[in-house]
Structure 1
Amino acid sequence: MAKILQLSTFESDAGDLTVFEKILPGDIKRVFYIRGKEGHERGAHRHLKTWQALICISGSCRVWVDNNITQDFFQLDSPDKCLLLAPEDWHVMDEFTDSSILLVLANTQYDQDDYIFEPYTQSSPTVNT
């Protein structure tokens, strides 16, 4: 199941340094970011093998996660908060603020065959991209 991790952040007069390490299984193979738009949703999928770490480095967003056992909402509203998603975690991102930038790190390269677009339940939020 998905879980929130607190990233190590070192504060100084010159600014903050937040460290991301030893969180994903294996190596980081892919990095991308989503510039969210207020009123729109993204995601609505899970994976066969990819682990992902989501960090909202600017603004905020909400992530709904369903692993076929539990369902939960996670609020990403701080750049030192990281949401770790296992492959089985169906996820939908929404409630983006206009200034939001969601950074995603994955332990695999993009593979269209790794995506599963069928939700576990019919209660999954819909996606309006």
Structure 2
Amino acid sequence: MANISDCILLDFRQIHDERGSLTPVESRNDIPFAIRRVFYLYDVPAGVEREGHAYKTLQQVLIAISGRCAVHLDDGMNRREVTLQHSHVGLYIPPMIWRRIDGFASGSMCLTLASDYYDEGDYYREYATFQRAVSVQTSG
């Protein structure tokens, strides 16, 4: 059973020279899973909230490639907010953590690295359903 303390910030390597900066992210070396899907959020209007779900098995790393956003994490018992604002820092989120994202600064882009392909059956989209699942896992 995952808990809020399992959501950790990953500080990726940075390579700087006169041509600019590069941050490599490698499956299983820099993040704890093989990357099977990549997607990104952008052009999010001010005041809009994204996400609002949990995954049964999927792992993710979120990276604010540009700008800033706030990630609200909830393991069914504890809550925490993490602000992402550095392109070399990722937030690892294991399965069974409810998340929502808001507070996007103008021009922000949030990249997601996911451990598996899209599967609608892997989602908890209703918070009450997520809470019941967490309750069953913690009691059994």
The TM tier, using the shorter chain, reads 0.7 to 0.9
Query: SS of the counterpart of 1:113?
Result: helix
Q: 1:80 to 1:42 in 2, by over 3 A?
A: same
The structure carrying a bigger strand percent of its residues is 1
The answer to whether structure 1 residue 56 and structure 2 residue 61 are counterparts is: no
Aligned pair partner of 2:41 in 34, 38, 57? 34
Q: CA RMSD in A?
A: 1.5
Contact 2:25 2:31 survives alignment (8 Å): no
The answer to whether structure 1 residue 79 and structure 2 residue 84 are counterparts is: no
Gaps of 5+ in 1: 122-129
The structure carrying a bigger helix percent of its residues is 2
Gaps of 5+ in 2: 1-5, 133-140
Deviation at 1:11, TM superposition (A): 1.1
Contact 2:63 2:89 survives alignment (8 Å): yes
TM-score, scaled to structure 1: 0.87
Q: Please give the alpha-carbon distance, in whole angstroms, between the structure 2 residues aligned to 1:23 and 1:109.
A: 20
- What number of residue pairs does the alignment pair up? 121
Residue by residue, what CA displacement relative to the aligned partner does 1:28-59 show, whole Å, maximum 9, x if unpaired?
Answer: 11000001221100010010110001001011
Contact 1:24 1:107 survives alignment (8 Å): no
* Equivalent residue number for residue 22 of structure 2: 17
Residue by residue, what CA displacement relative to the aligned partner does 1:67-107 show, whole Å, maximum 9, x if unpaired?
Answer: 12421000000101100010111000000012011000101
